[in-house]
Chain A
Amino acid sequence: MSQSFDSTAIHQAILEQQKADARKKMVLNVVLVLLLVAAPFVLYPVFLMKILCFALFAVAFNLLFGFTGLLSFGHAAFLATGGYTTGYLLTNFSGLTTEMGILAGTAVATLLGLAFALLSIRRQGIYFAMVTLALAQLVFFFFVQSEFTGGEDGMHGIPRGHLLGVIDLNNNFNMYYFVLAVFLGCYLLVQRIVSSPYGQVLKSIKQNEPRAVSLGYNVNRYKVLAFVISAALAGLAGSMKSVVFQLASLNDAHWHMSGEVILMTLVGGMGTLLGPVVGATFVVNVEYHLSQGALRDWVDPILGGIFILVVLAFRSGIVGELQKFFKKNLG
């Protein structure tokens, strides 16, 4: 139609930009990896592992919330199920190596995620959130009543054991690098999912669901898959956490936890890859440092205030706002 624009040239330009974006992503990934590999020489490894577990939890949640547009208010159920399952198995079956226990915890959380998804996916918006909350409350009461969880006391003394039966995870450095490897694997997986053909469909569903339907997509199936992957990764985060702290407690199953992961994701920046990682780091640090000082009784109100501030003034979260800033100032 117009002579001045040659469509092959435009296409070339698009491919060039894709490559440039991929390079940028690569550089960012390498920096992230180097920082995390060096971190335990500076900071306490157990604290770092706590951050990584919550970061994985938030990354999992964000796949559903930020990239699919589904607000689940029941993700604590998967974190807790992963944790309790792994804890129970490793405590009671000494023949199991640690990674088997973690895989089993993840698998049970995945199945639970499938059940949640099938029961909730037909509802939208606030109704979807309410159904997931209700289901998660059922799971919570199941854990309160069950004997194997230790009820209010929680499950203590979960053995860290040996990775593959060889590497001693009681050593905090070994444990840290194992957690780091799992975290990075999951982070890269989510990065891949988001840019995959499947990720494109998720994007389109999030942006205009009726249109996606009219293009022949059976949107509920895509949502169920996203929910199940998200639940699996959340379960994995819970399993790892129970091994790191040798503890699984009702805190992880409580609806507070479902709220906290929303907070982490929003503060960091929903719909960005790094956002939930930054958000989890931020929230875990705020909680830790406040609980050490004079403000220890004010942790919840302060976090609540931060939440309100983010929702009112910094909708895109830390990472989202930074991205905007760089775009504006670097062309």
Chain B
Amino acid sequence: MSEQYVLETRNLVKEFKGFVAVDDVNLKIQKGHIHALIGPNGAGKTTVFNLLTKFLIPTRGQILFNGNDITSLKSAAIARKGVVRSFQISAVFPHMTALENIRVALQSFEGTSYSFWKSGASLNRLNERCMDLLEQVGLEEYANTTTVELAYGRKRALELATTLAMEPELLLLDEPTQGMGAEDVDRVVELVRKAAKGRTVLMVEHNLSVVSKLCDRITVLAQGAVLTEGDYDTVSADPRVREVYMGTDSSGERGSSSEASEVEAAE
């Protein structure tokens, strides 16, 4: 029964010295879905991500991956099980080339990562797969470019390719379009759509038009707790969602926050 859910949290709680950042969250991520986690700033979205990947330790509650309890595993072990995350700020290795960035990810399955006596050339047989992955995100011509010299949008694309190199079963994307111009956003939407084939994606996203285009199911967080869940139409029609995004005034007056205008734009 629980097999149809790749990831499940049960009564997940994170407290910071009396402040409850994540309050009794029960998530069920269905296999094959692109699932969005949305909510206003400070709702606890990134904290949930950090709990799922154990960058933070949950105060209470359980995390299940394919029905197995992974609550006590460490970050690195969770990644090796197939739950791989990206970060809000583009997470690349700035002084390595694009190809080396991806190769480090592929290398983690090789079993030679402690081999300090082995020649670096032994890694060259991974290059072909690196080039494949770079091609998937349109970066093959930058294979030998030091990452720090890449434009922001390309760094994010590289980060996605690196994450995909891990062959994750569940992909956790933390605001993949953050800080991007409109063109880049469209490219990332396409990339995520491609990447999601054959896997499950959970993404934090502020841009609601991205969410409406991509996601099968949406969970709305507010003040650390789940406000509502459903597909885009259900969620966007929910007056409580409009309320948390626009403030207490739900009479239809424009809110000043950017999220509010995004809600309108997406409709």
Contacts and interface: CB of A to CB of B under 8 A. Distances in A.
Interface string B103-132: 111011010111111111111100110011
B184 to A, nearest CB: 16
B93 A208 contact: yes
A5 B134 CA distance: 12
B120 A210 contact: no
B100 interface: yes
A207 to B, nearest CB: 4
B59 to A, nearest CB: 21
Nearest to B96: A203
B116 A207 contact: no
Contacts of B85: 214
Contact of B104 (A14, A201, A213, A221): A201
B127 A14 contact: yes
Interface stretch (B76-84, B234-242, B256-264): B76-84
Contacts of A199: 116, 120
Interface in B80-95: 80, 84-87, 91-95
Contacts, number: 136
A222 B116 CA distance: 10
Given A215-B108, A216-B108, A225-B114, A200 B144 contact: no
Contact of B96 (A13, A192, A193, A204): A204
A35 interface: no
A219 B118 CA distance: 19
Contacts of B118: 196-198
Interface residues of A, number: 39
Given A7-B135, A10-B143, A192-B117, A216 B94 contact: no
A1 interface: yes
A291 to B, nearest CB: 39
A269 to B, nearest CB: 15
A17 interface: yes
A308 B14 CA distance: 45
A2 interface: yes
Contact of A214 (B91, B107, B110, B115): B91
Nearest to A197: B112
B91 A218 contact: no
Contacts of B43: none
Contacts of A15: 124, 127
Size class of the contact patch on chain B: 35 or more
B103 A207 contact: no
Contact of B120 (A17, A196, A207, A222): A196
Given A7-B135, A197-B110, A218-B76, A13 B144 contact: yes
Given A207-B93, A211-B91, A197 B122 contact: yes
Given A2-B138, A207-B96, A210-B87, A196 B117 contact: yes
B225 to A, nearest CB: 26
B89 to A, nearest CB: 10
A201 B96 contact: no
A207 B94 contact: yes
A10 B132 CA distance: 12
Contact of B121 (A18, A213, A218): A18
Contacts of B79: 213-216
B166 A216 contact: yes
A197 B75 contact: no
Contact of B108 (A198, A217, A221, A225): A217
Given A197-B122, A200-B123, A216-B80, A10 B96 contact: no
Contacts of A14: 99, 127, 143-144
A229 interface: yes
A11 interface: yes
Interface string B129-150: 0011011001011011000000
A210 B93 contact: no
A285 interface: no
25 contacts: A2-B138, A2-B141, A7-B134, A7-B143, A10-B140, A14-B127, A14-B143, A18-B124, A193-B116, A196-B115, A196-B117, A198-B115, A203-B104, A208-B92, A208-B94, A210-B91, A211-B93, A213-B75, A214-B91, A216-B76, A216-B77, A218-B74, A218-B77, A221-B114, A222-B113
Given A197-B123, A201-B113, A208-B92, 10 more contacts: A7-B135, A7-B143, A11-B127, A14-B99, A197-B110, A203-B95, A211-B91, A215-B84, A216-B76, A218-B76
Interface of B: 53, 55, 74-77, 79-80, 84-87, 91-96, 99-100, 103-105, 107-108, 110, 112-124, 127-128, 131-132, 134-135, 138, 140-141, 143-144, 162, 166
- Counting from the closest, the 8 A-B pairs by CB-CB distance are A195-B120, A216-B79, A198-B116, A5-B141, A211-B91, A216-B80, A207-B93, A7-B131
